Amino acid sequence: MTDDHTSGPVPDEITLGRIETEVALLMRFGEATRRASGSAEHRVLDRAAYVILRHLDVAGPQNVSALAAKLNLDGSTVTRQVSAMQRDGLIARTPDPADGRGTVVSPTPAGLQRMAAVRTARTRLYGDILAAWSTDDRDTLAELLHRFNQALESRPRPR
């Protein structure tokens, strides 16, 4: 898109293009950094298990449908992940008190311990990466990432 007075892109389009590029790079470098880390703590959980455990730790036990909706994933995908996590002893299923036919999943102590190890390793890694940044810059980055994630989460989903 161009503006009526110039033949080039409008400034907002340039900025949005930069954001798109930086987010793409963030995802790529984040995953590459995790894989290349020499720390075993980064590898005690796969990314999906870590995200599920982090959510259950904050939100409490949930049925798979609620978990899938919160994580914006297909129910069958979450069911497969939850089954694998249950086999690994990371989560437990119990009868759903609101619906006796269903179950809810919750983290086990082992699951929480592994999640905490990954979180600690990641926090240490980001501390190293951002060591030269001022406290104000770190706070600004944290706030902007939080706002960005909230905007992504609240975005209407196609049905």
- Reported as a single tens digit per residue, the pLDDT across 114-124 is 999 989 888 98
pLDDT confidence band for 101 (50 / 70 / 90): confident
Q: Is 50 left (phi over 0), alpha (psi -120 to 50) or beta?
A: alpha
Average pLDDT over residues 38-67: 85
CA-CA distances (angstroms) from residue 32 to 36, 42, 50, 102?
A: 6, 12, 17, 38
Q: Which of 105, 143, 124, 151 is nearest to 33 (CA)?
A: 124
Neighbour-count burial of 112, counting CB atoms closer than 10 A to its CB (0-12 exposed, 13-18 middle, 19+ buried):
middle
pLDDT confidence band for 55 (50 / 70 / 90): very high
Share of the chain above pLDDT 90, in %: 53
> Which domains are seen in the chain, by residue range?
1-36 (no CATH), 42-154 (1.10.10.10)
pLDDT confidence band for 140 (50 / 70 / 90): very high
